[in-house]
Structure 1
Amino acid sequence: MSSPASRIRGPYLIDKPGPDLVNQLTDLFSRSASVAPDPLDSTDFDGGNLRATAMRIASGAMDPAGSLIVSDAGEDLIGCISLEQEVDPLRRHRGIVRLLLVDPNFRGQGLAGELIEACCERARSLGLSQVYLREKGGFGAETYYARHDFRLVGRFPGGIRMAQGIDLDELWLLREL
């Protein structure tokens, strides 16, 4: 594992996923799941199956409606954000952020913000005028994303059921591009 002093490259778009992408994503997810989770991470890890989540995210990078943007430090992915363009003809003007994750060793350095901005730039290049995301309530997501020009547009009370049987509000946050 690279250290925070390693040279950081990115964010950059994965336009042709290599054969190691699933393993690199699985490693990133594993490092993130092995510490106290960051409540702002929008990852559910498919109920704990890290490889299944990595495969889903990697396959989205190969989909014409999907985009995966990453940062790395040497051989290791240290952050990623996934954007999916809506396919419904009435919603093709918007995209959903499906994943934002930063390695715990690299948090607090502005990398998540860089990934968000790269994602929004990618959305603009695709002709999108809005991006939105759904996030867990009660952990400061609304305040965090407001710093990146997202605004709360909806709240689904009890919309997220955690593994521990705890229900959290699901927040819908939108950014106009």
Structure 2
Amino acid sequence: MPQRPLQARDAVTARPKQPDAAFRAAVRFRTADETDVPAVVPMINAAYLRESHLLPGPRIDPDRLLAELRQPDTQLILAETGGVLAGSVRLITRDDRAYFGLLATDPALQGRGLASMLIDHVERKARDAGFDALYLQCVKELGLPPFYASLGYSVITEIPGVTDWGALRPWTKVEMKKALA
């Protein structure tokens, strides 16, 4: 399978976008349930197409998402605008740590600040649940650490040469942490 280099349009900006007031007011958050899976899976997979040169295949499938939703320590938070799915983020509270991941926004809405809103929302949920920090893991080669650093996350480990998730070539796993005040 040929490797597709990241295109300029795929670049992750190191400075998060600030959503305009009307967009911010239109976004509603809720916790996903099993009935959301048919809509959520294609949105997540479309959002993760930019990783296809490194991590092949769909990012998630219905069975795996259903299994995750059934875990007592996992929540999938949905963002909706006008009752239509706009994005999602997973929150896992396990082993005295809170993690977020599987952050996805509908490609048609990318660049409007929705990812920052989802992260802000999941940070509040973790803080309200009594966690003093939030962790994430990301792929360095996709340019993600500077984006998360701009939101207050610090690198705590970097592991080069990772071949997890059926990677087409080795990548660097970066774990980051943010203290929640």
TM-score (norm 2): 0.73
Question: What is the aligned partner in structure 1 of residue 75 from structure 2?
Answer: 67
Gaps of 5+ in 2: 1-21
CA–CA distance in structure 2, aligned partners of residues 124 and 154 of structure 1:
23
What is the number of equivalent residue pairs in this alignment?
156
Question: What does 1:81-100 align with in structure 2 at a 5 Å threshold?
Answer: 81-86=89-94, 88=95, 92=96, 94-100=97-103
Structure 1 residue corresponding to 2:37, chosen from 22, 27, 30: 22
Is contact 1:152–1:174 with CA below 8 Å preserved after alignment? yes
CA–CA distance in structure 2, aligned partners of residues 75 and 46 of structure 1:
29
CA–CA distance in structure 2, aligned partners of residues 138 and 47 of structure 1:
19
CA–CA distance in structure 1, aligned partners of residues 59 and 104 of structure 2:
15
Moved more, 121-130 or 164-173: 164-173
RMSD: 2.8
SS in structure 1 opposite 2:50? Answer: coil
Question: What is the aligned partner in structure 2 of residue 120 from structure 1?
Answer: 123
Question: What is the aligned partner in structure 2 of residue 78 from structure 1?
Answer: 86
Q: Which amino acid aligns with 1:76?
A: V
Q: 1:108 aligned to 2:111?
A: yes
CA–CA distance in structure 1, aligned partners of residues 124 and 134 of structure 2:
11
Is contact 1:68–1:82 with CA below 8 Å preserved after alignment? yes
Alpha carbons of structure 1 residues 83 and 49: separation in structure 2 relative to 1, 3 Å: closer
Is contact 2:45–2:59 with CA below 8 Å preserved after alignment? no
CA–CA distance in structure 1, aligned partners of residues 175 and 152 of structure 2:
13
CA–CA distance in structure 1, aligned partners of residues 110 and 101 of structure 2:
19
CA–CA distance in structure 2, aligned partners of residues 48 and 119 of structure 1:
20
Is contact 1:80–1:102 with CA below 8 Å preserved after alignment? yes
Question: What is the aligned partner in structure 2 of residue 152 from structure 1?
Answer: 155
Q: 1:13 aligned to 2:30?
A: yes
Is contact 1:8–1:71 with CA below 8 Å preserved after alignment? no
Q: For residues 82-132 of structure 1, what are the alpha-carbon distances to aligned partners after superposition, in whole Å with 9 as ceiling and x for unaligned?
A: 11111x3xxx1x211131111110000000000000000000010001111
Q: 1:137 aligned to 2:140?
A: yes
Alpha carbons of structure 1 residues 48 and 69: separation in structure 2 relative to 1, 3 Å: closer
Q: Percent identity?
A: 20
Q: 1:52 aligned to 2:66?
A: no
Alpha carbons of structure 1 residues 164 and 170: separation in structure 2 relative to 1, 3 Å: closer
Is contact 2:74–2:90 with CA below 8 Å preserved after alignment? yes
Alpha carbons of structure 1 residues 97 and 161: separation in structure 2 relative to 1, 3 Å: same
